[in-house]
Amino acid sequence: MRTKSARPVLVVIAHGSRDPRHAATVHALVRQVRALRPEVRVETGFLDFNIPSVQGVLESLAADGVRDVVALPLLLTRAFHAKADIPAVLREAPSRLRIRQAEVLGPSPLLLTALERRLYEAGLSPADKSSTGVVLASAGSTDPEAIAVIAEIAREWRHTGWCAVRPAFASAALPRTEDAVRELRDLGCARVAVAPYVLAPGFLPDRIARGAADADVLADVLGPAPEVARVLLERYDAARTPALAALGA
């Protein structure tokens, strides 16, 4: 059956993982997005390891008569996957599709709200902020732009009332989570919490968890937090209405 809609189809592009928790978490997040915007068709494609592939999703949409697509990288920073991998895949899409690539999810104030949600779910309360040091634990990247963004998020988050906030990285950059935990202890924070700035479980989030062994609190990954779903829709709206977005409408 051919589909016609004034709204572009939203294709969420996830990295993929051998860890089955990754795809399950991505699908749970996409269900949140569909619940918030039921009039929008939302599909999920993976770059690697999981099915359907991004290419397979795009070919199916073209065969279904879809014309307009917003491709949204399920990424928190604009690093190699957003700059190279995803554009390369999109260039191989069927020619009948008009595809706009949305911006990555971060940074966003909503993501900071989601991080705090996870910390409170793990046992902290707003009253603990001034005495708690937080490790903002990212997967890491070789891209200096992405590393700088994580450092800036940590500085911004510190100004919301936490005792201190330090960035950490599970790969490709330093410090590691355990080193940031130690630094916050040395600063004299009464407690130390680790907030994984990652979207879904997998190899690197597990490394963050191991590095948090000496912390007092380890939050869950962002996953299908409602704030994350809202960010996805913000990026979708900005990509499908670029002229309005440029005017701040």
Could you report the per-residue pLDDT of 47-59, keeping only the tens digit for each? 999 999 999 999 9
pTM of the model: 0.93
pLDDT of the residue at 80: 81
Distance CA 110, CA 228 (A): 7
- pLDDT for position 99: 97
pLDDT at 242: 64
Q: What is the pLDDT of residue 73?
A: 98
Q: What pLDDT digit, counting tens, does each position of 201-234 carry? A: 999 999 999 999 999 999 999 999 999 999 999 9
Beta bridge partners of 218: 194
**How far is residue 7's CA from residue 10's CA, in Å, rounded to a whole number?**
9
Which pLDDT belongs to residue 249? 37
Question: For residue 83, what are its two tokens?
Answer: 């700059």
- Write the CA distances from 105 to 67, 79, 81, 91, 236, integer angstroms: 24, 12, 13, 21, 10
CB 44 within 8 A of CB 38: no
Residue 6 confidence class, pLDDT cut points 50, 70, 90: confident
Higher-confidence residue of 209 and 81: namely 209
Q: What is the pLDDT of residues 144-159, one digit of tens each?
A: 999 999 999 999 999 9
